[in-house]
Homo-oligomer: A and B are copies of this chain.
Amino acid sequence: MTSVVPLHPGSDVPGLSRYAALASALRARIVAGEWPPGSALPAESLLATQHQVALGTMRRALEQLVNMGLVERIHGKGTFVRQGIAGASMLRLFRFDSGGGEVPQSRILSRQRVHASAAVARQLGVAPGEPVLQLQRLRLLAQRPCLLEDIWLPLDLFAALENSDTQAWGDLLYPQFANQCGVHVHRAVDHIGFALLTGTQAHHLQLPPGHPCVAVERNAHDLTGRCVEWRTTRADAHAFHYTVTIT
């Protein structure tokens, strides 16, 4: 009988290579907030000596963090925890007539504090009945409505938004989240489907009721993986276009 032997010599995490274990450990420290978004990690050489591994091994771990989208490395400057995603990401799904890469204007139609329905609670990962902030938002290109959004935000994170002046919010929401609430959207999952517009939805988009639309349901997450936003975006189905490459 032999005792259990690690996968690799010196590895203290059975079943994981050394660089993978290092990446996991660094990830935990990033998620815990030891290095906040935008800040720099220690130099790779320092991290290597601190963890008593060769430089190449530490580089490999950092490379894995890059692939996870957690950090980005800049030659000559350092290794930085990635900021939240910018926004305007919804427009990549559509081609509007005068949408030459410009950020659409944002108009908040309504904002109210509500109790989370079962569906909203499930999407946000909070208890049903918890207070959430509900927004309805219209986005316009060249003064023409193009996107209609219903947004739910957990109030414990976004209390600062409840009474601030929506006129001053600017056209992108995620920078707003970061500046006013310290919430960085790090990852978003979009479920794209097809539907027909209700009367009120159609009215906001200046389209006929029953008009075909694309409905994008988005769950946005922060670094820790917590869902910080649930959103449904609707737009004219004829404006939809998306390109995927298979390999």
Nearest residue, chain B, Cβ from A68? B247
Kindly report how many copies of this chain are found in the complex they form together: 2
> In the complex, are the beta carbons of B247 and A193 less than 8 A apart?
no
How many interface residues does chain A have, given as a range? 20 to 34
* B-chain residues with CB within 8 Å of residue A85 when the two chains form the complex: 246-247
User: Contact partner of A245 among B187, B212, B242, B247, CB < 8 A?
Assistant: B187
Interface status of A75 (Cβ within 8 A of chain B): no
Nearest residue, chain B, Cβ from A189? B245
Q: Which of A25-33, A134-142, A233-241 contacts B (4 or more CB under 8 A)?
A: A233-241
Q: How far is the CA of A186 from the CA of B191 in the complex (A)?
A: 27
Q: How far is the CA of A214 from the CA of B190 in the complex (A)?
A: 18
> In the complex, are the beta carbons of B242 and A192 less than 8 A apart?
yes
> In the complex, are the beta carbons of B192 and A240 less than 8 A apart?
yes
> In the complex, are the beta carbons of B187 and A247 less than 8 A apart?
yes
Q: How far is the CA of A240 from the CA of B240 in the complex (A)?
A: 13
Interface status of A40 (Cβ within 8 A of chain B): no
* B-chain residues with CB within 8 Å of residue A187 when the two chains form the complex: 245-247
